[in-house]
């Protein structure tokens, strides 16, 4: 790693950069097949095991899950707006995150609606 220190407006600034060897290692890694896919989401895990919970508790879990994903979606949209026109690869990854979280929020809204309808149907029986 190449490190350049300098003073900017009275403040010390450190800029990091890739060495030739580091760049070669990065490119080697980028060119290798991706072997790992991992999705860990505790909120989704809780929803998976929520069957024993009361309907109102399940609805609260779904609502909390949706609110968390909405907050992430809002943050990603803000990052995208702040970045403006940046590197195309970075924009593509941001689009993926925005699209994924937008879908999750919409999915949660549908699940919340179904859960409320089931709760009403159960109360009417």
User: Does the reported pTM lie above 0.75?
Assistant: no
Using alpha carbons, list the distances in angstroms from residue 89 to 32, 76, 115, 125.
17, 15, 39, 54
The pLDDT confidence band at residue 47, using thresholds 50, 70 and 90, is confident
- How many CB atoms lie under 10 A from the CB of residue 71? 12
The mean per-residue pLDDT over the stretch 62-66 comes to: 92
**Domain boundary assignment for the chain:** 2-124
The pLDDT confidence band at residue 86, using thresholds 50, 70 and 90, is low
The mean per-residue pLDDT over the stretch 82-86 comes to: 72
- What pLDDT was estimated at residue 32? 94
Instruction: For residue 58, give both structure tokens.
Output: 């399940």
Contacts of residue 85, defined as CB under 8 A and 6 or more positions apart, other chains included, come to: 91
The mean per-residue pLDDT over the stretch 61-65 comes to: 92
């Amino acid at each position: 790693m190449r490190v350049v220190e300098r003073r900017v407006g009275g403040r010390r600034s450190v800029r990091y950069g890739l060495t030739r060897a580091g760049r070669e290692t990065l490119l080697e890694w980028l060119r290798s097949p991706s072997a790992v896919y991992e999705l860990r989401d505790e909120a989704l895990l809780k929803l998976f095991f929520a069957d024993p919970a009361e309907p109102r508790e399940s609805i609260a879990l779904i609502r909390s899950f949706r609110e968390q994903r909405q907050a992430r979606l809002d943050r990603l949209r803000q990052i995208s707006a702040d970045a403006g026109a940046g590197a195309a690869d970075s924009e593509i990854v941001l689009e993926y995150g925005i699209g994924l979280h937008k879908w999750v929020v919409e999915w949660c809204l549908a699940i919340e609606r179904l859960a409320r309808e089931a709760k009403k149907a159960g109360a009417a029986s």
